[in-house]
Amino acid sequence: MSTPRWICKTCGWIYDETKGDPDSGLAPGTRFEDIPDDWSCPLCGVTKADFITLEEYAAQRAASSGPKTRPPRAKGQVGGEDAVVIIGSGIAGWTVAERLRERAPDRPITLLTADDGCVYPKPALSMAIGQGRSADDLVEYSGSDKAAELGVTLQANTRVMGIKPADKRLLTSKGNVKYGELVLALGASQRRRVFEGDAADDILRVNDLASYRRMRDRLNEGPLHVTLIGAGLIGVEFAEDLHAGGHYVTLLDLGEQLLGRLAPPPVAARLLEALKPHGIDFRPGVSLDSLEHDGGGYRATLTSGEALHTDLVISAMGLVPNIDLAKKAGLQVNRGIHADPADMRTSDPHIFAVGDCAEVDGRSYFYIEPIKRQAEAVAAALCGESAPFERKPTSIRVKTPSLALNLCPPDLSVADLGRWVLEDEHGAACRMTFMAQGREAGYALSGSEAARASELYEAVCRDMTAA
């Protein structure tokens, strides 16, 4: 228990001296002080300076006096013709508020959110069980505390029902709100599919703290059998974290391997090998067909016709950007809300989009590092400055303790123009690069090879710039 541990203020990743960070070349036992300054958080990429001890972290949160439940109604004017109004209190929404406040100390900012506005590190949702943290432990600030700190008017528990771009006003469940400039940080939702059966409504979709809390409440009932639909990034991370919490997992996916298009088959196969000793039961080529109540649990019938008894079903079939509001308002949308990389402006000059809901050149960025850069671009544009959003390849550190995995899938523009090349393999370790048009356009690393991620990432970025 006395092991010194440091936590990343940005994403909640914890550095444990006894374990080190072998993927980045830090042997177990490496003291925090001895970590080189150019080392970066393996999950979100911030530097060592952004780490504090767990004790400091706990003390900071204890000092934050606000309630952990619903905040009281925010005081102060909501919106206004001179105000920047941000819709959404996820990482994207709050980061825009932070970056804008840094640049414009007196600008009126209103943040509207359907939930209570609390601040929490979203990546932690797929590793909190293993870290021994409850849903409440993840809350860093209450919405009202964060709003007070930033001088932002928070209108919590308020849904935006419509946008009228021509009149620059919003229709909310508490009445109209005017805006001068509007920032859409609407997030994404887990893909919804209709399943048969009288218990189909009980299937959980986890993509925010409220739904996560609901899942943890169910898991507290004791060791459960959990069926996960979808073996993509969230599916495998949940599978590992649920196993860490003593639960039994069956993982379904219509595809033939784990991680779908993110990983080439040899790397996916190694992850499967690493998961097997945990009893994680992966069923390739199969999904859920129907769910019926059965005693205290459920009877899940699979598309293969097999049936299994399960206690909890979680759907993780991938994220879909929340575009409904923008679409109804007549903004240009595709899969996400169209945004110009120069300033993240949508097709309306007074409306910006940022985070999971936004789409830049046909791509959505569901990861923290690019979202923070998008927020910077919006804050700059709102102040008449320029900080264009640079489209970099996506580097993913998969949160699977059984096997270190670092992935950089090729951009969709070249995904069909190249192939995976096996560079090296020994046991669980494997290094593959995606070669397209004579350049390195991506990589997939497992085991000890995962430590080479930053070196390869630089090469991919270099090649992309050259292209």
Partner 1 sequence: MTAMTPTLNTEPSAAPEGELLFNAIRDIVRDKLAPLTVKIDQGYYPAEVLRALGEAGAFRQHLASQSGRGEYDLQAALKAMDIVSQECMSTGFMMWAQDVVCWYIEMSNNDYLKQTLLPRLASGEALGGTALSNPMKYLAGIEPLLVSATETEDGFILNGSLPWISNLGPDHWFGSIFKVGGDNPRDVMALVNTSWPGMELKQLAKFCGMEGTGTYALFFKDVFVPKTHLLGDPLVPYLKKMKAGFILLQTGMATGVIESCIKLCEDVEPKLGHVNCYLDDRPDELREELEDAREAIAGLCEDPFNQDPDYIRTVLEARLLGGELVVKAANSAMLHTGANGYLHDAPAQRKLREAYFVAIVTPATKHLRKEIDAMAAA
User: Which residues of this chain interact with partner 1, rule CB under 8 A?
Assistant: 114-115, 157, 159, 161-162, 164, 169, 171-176, 192, 201, 204-205, 210-211, 213-214, 324
State which residue, 101 or 191, has the beta carbon closest to partner 1.
191
Gap between the Cα atoms of 4 and 19, Å rounded: 11
Gap between the Cα atoms of 361 and 352, Å rounded: 15
The encoded tokens of residue 188 equal 């994404």
Gap between the Cα atoms of 91 and 69, Å rounded: 19
State which residue, 172 or 374, has the beta carbon closest to partner 1.
172
- How near is the Cβ of 198 to partner 1 at its closest, in Å? 8
- How near is the Cβ of 210 to partner 1 at its closest, in Å? 4
State which residue, 209 or 441, has the beta carbon closest to partner 1.
209
State which residue, 176 or 386, has the beta carbon closest to partner 1.
176
State which residue, 78 or 127, has the beta carbon closest to partner 1.
78
**Pairing outcome for strands 312-315 and 204-205:** parallel
- How near is the Cβ of 197 to partner 1 at its closest, in Å? 13
- How near is the Cβ of 164 to partner 1 at its closest, in Å? 7
State which residue, 157 or 250, has the beta carbon closest to partner 1.
157
- How near is the Cβ of 204 to partner 1 at its closest, in Å? 8
- How near is the Cβ of 328 to partner 1 at its closest, in Å? 9
Q: Give 61's Cβ-side CA count (13 Å radius).
A: 18
State which residue, 103 or 214, has the beta carbon closest to partner 1.
214
Q: Is the CB of residue 453 less than 8 Å from the CB of residue 445?
A: yes
- How near is the Cβ of 137 to partner 1 at its closest, in Å? 18
State which residue, 114 or 319, has the beta carbon closest to partner 1.
114
- How near is the Cβ of 245 to partner 1 at its closest, in Å? 20
Q: Is 245 exposed, middle or buried (0-12, 13-18, 19+ CB in 10 A)?
A: middle
Q: Is the CB of residue 346 less than 8 Å from the CB of residue 352?
A: yes
Q: Token pair 């391997």 is at which residue?
A: 257
The encoded tokens of residue 3 equal 């092991």
State which residue, 159 or 392, has the beta carbon closest to partner 1.
159
State which residue, 294 or 385, has the beta carbon closest to partner 1.
294
Gap between the Cα atoms of 96 and 212, Å rounded: 24
State which residue, 162 or 279, has the beta carbon closest to partner 1.
162
- How near is the Cβ of 286 to partner 1 at its closest, in Å? 24
- How near is the Cβ of 48 to partner 1 at its closest, in Å? 36
- How near is the Cβ of 213 to partner 1 at its closest, in Å? 7
Amino acid occupying residue 4: P
